[in-house]
Chains A and B, each alone.
Chain A
Amino acid sequence: MSKYLLNKFLFTVDRDPELVERYREDPRGTVDWWESTQANLILNCHGGEASTWLRFEDAEREALASHDYVKLFEMGAHPFLTLTLFIAMFERDYEEPLGFQKEYARKLGHMSLPYPDIAT
């Protein structure tokens, strides 16, 4: 499990308006690009000092590539990061105020305490 890397994807995409749109439109392509070129960058360090060991597990890559926020929750991705990014991508598709947020809650309705551990 690489919860840290899942979170790093959500964190770096969420803070970049262009990446938010790119991930909305082309999730699989964005995840592949990100894993091959961005995943190992240490934030605030130049590319020559990147890490060498970070990669997604297959199920993690698939959860991101299929916009599967329920799976991300089950895997212990940080729920604040997931929620914030997915609101940015999909709130606009719902007429009712908070419509997306409420559907998001409903889709997680099968989860009970204790929730998956989010510690990294």
Chain B
Amino acid sequence: MAELVAVIASTHHPFYYRASTATGEDRPPFADEWVRKVLAFRETLTRARPDVLVMVGSDHFHQFWLDNMPQFLVGKAPFYDANWYNEEREFGLPRMLLTGQEDLSEHILREGIDAGFDLAFSNELRIDHSITCPIITLRPENDLPIVPIYTNIFAPPLPRPKRFVELGRTIRQLVESWPSDLRVAVIGTGHLSLELGGPRQFGPHGPDPEFDAKAVEWIANGDIEGCLAEVTLDSLHKPGNATHGFMDFMLMMGVAGEGEKADYVDTYDLFHTMEAYFTWYPRGGRP
């Protein structure tokens, strides 16, 4: 069976690419430290020597629209073009082409549906920055095949937090039951507190540093129970109107497992949001 060699949860900050590649006067003062942190985080994936990446993210009204909105969707295609015109326009993100691991997509779809998740699928999926940001930060060579999994954290009605955790647990079981000798890393990205298009956006910090501190503790300690006891679809409005993206972190806690402390934890307090980086090595310790 396949081996789950790393579980990684991260924020996806679309400004990283531009900040990290800017030079001279255009380079923001926070860029060097940000790059240093990202390089250290990248090493936690490199060290796990993955062959395949399962990438959990969320479409930001790019391919999926309110006339046909999936809650959870798995890509199954040989290739995925990536990044959209409005992401080039606003964030300067490059167009990318990723390779797909179709047999793992097929396995996740078949077994996931049988496990109680009526997963939608796409055979032609253009992915967006929720998945390309972690490729840029964690695997800029873009040399590994992926299985993209999209969640709806964006267009209500949304699945509840518990459902995200359950899907995470199921993804782990499906990866570990995949008849393959390949090494798989599961990487998911979301947000801590975040406000977009509201009065608390683009402040000097994330909109709710108190929530962020608590969230980092939940994730770092694998405290799924504590997190689920406090986090609801309603409660997530309070830290910021786009904080439902935190549910993708909860999904990743489900992949990592109840009570599993992260082997690597780092954060970076930036304007607008706090960056947060977590890595678990499922067999315990470092690979």
Contacts of A42 on B, CB cut-off 8 Å? Answer: 67
Cα A101 to Cα B197 in complex, Å, equals: 8
Q: Which residue of B lies closest to A99 (CB)?
A: B202
Is B196's CB under 8 angstroms from A83's CB? yes
Cα A115 to Cα B207 in complex, Å, equals: 15
Which of B58-66, B159-167, B183-191, B256-264 contacts its partner? B58-66
B173 within 8 A of A: no
- Interface of chain A: mostly helix, strand, loop or mixed: helix
A11-B61, A43-B67 known; A109 vs B199 contact (CB < 8 Å): yes
A11-B65, A88-B89 known; A101 vs B202 contact (CB < 8 Å): yes
Is B156's CB under 8 angstroms from A118's CB? yes
Cα A87 to Cα B90 in complex, Å, equals: 8
Cα A87 to Cα B154 in complex, Å, equals: 19
Cα A115 to Cα B242 in complex, Å, equals: 12
Cα A118 to Cα B237 in complex, Å, equals: 12
A15-B86, A80-B154 known; A114 vs B237 contact (CB < 8 Å): yes
Q: Which of A8, A80, A102 is in CB contact (< 8 Å) with B202?
A: A102
Is B199's CB under 8 angstroms from A14's CB? no
Is B196's CB under 8 angstroms from A88's CB? no
Cα A111 to Cα B126 in complex, Å, equals: 35
Contact with A along B146-162 (1 / 0, CB 8 A): 00000000111100000
Contacts of B196 on A, CB cut-off 8 Å? Answer: 79-80, 83
Is B86's CB under 8 angstroms from A88's CB? yes
Write the nearest CB–CB distance from B285 to chain A, whole angstroms. 40
Cα A73 to Cα B237 in complex, Å, equals: 15
A66 within 8 A of B: no
Cα A79 to Cα B241 in complex, Å, equals: 9
Interface size class of A (residues with CB under 8 A): 35 or more
B17 within 8 A of A: no
A59 within 8 A of B: no
Cα A79 to Cα B200 in complex, Å, equals: 12
A104 within 8 A of B: yes
A108 within 8 A of B: yes
B201 within 8 A of A: yes
Is A108's CB under 8 angstroms from B61's CB? no
Q: Which residue of B lies closest to A87 (CB)?
A: B90
Contacts of A36 on B, CB cut-off 8 Å? Answer: none
Q: Which of B66, B85, B199 is in CB contact (< 8 Å) with A7?
A: B66
Q: Which residue of A lies closest to B238 (CB)?
A: A113
Contacts of A110 on B, CB cut-off 8 Å? Answer: 199
Cα A102 to Cα B199 in complex, Å, equals: 9
Is A108's CB under 8 angstroms from B155's CB? no
Is A83's CB under 8 angstroms from B85's CB? no
Considering the complex of A and B, which 5 residue pairs feature the smallest CB-CB distances, nearest first?
Answer: A79-B197, A83-B197, A108-B199, A119-B156, A101-B202
- List 19 additional contacts besides A80-B60, A114-B237; criterion CB under 8 Å: A11-B65, A15-B62, A15-B84, A78-B61, A80-B154, A80-B196, A81-B197, A87-B90, A88-B89, A98-B202, A105-B201, A105-B202, A105-B203, A108-B198, A109-B199, A111-B199, A115-B198, A118-B156, A119-B156
User: Interface on B for A, CB 8 Å cutoff?
Assistant: 60-62, 65-67, 84-86, 89-90, 154-157, 196-203, 237-238, 241-242, 271
Enumerate 30 A-B pairs (CB-CB under 8 Å) in ascending A order: A4-B66, A14-B86, A15-B84, A15-B86, A43-B65, A78-B155, A78-B197, A79-B196, A79-B198, A79-B241, A79-B242, A80-B61, A80-B196, A80-B197, A84-B86, A88-B90, A98-B271, A101-B202, A104-B197, A104-B201, A105-B198, A105-B199, A105-B200, A105-B201, A113-B237, A113-B238, A115-B237, A119-B156, A120-B155, A120-B156
User: Interface on A for B, CB 8 Å cutoff?
Assistant: 4, 7-8, 11, 14-15, 17, 42-43, 73, 78-84, 87-88, 98, 101-102, 104-106, 108-111, 113-115, 118-120
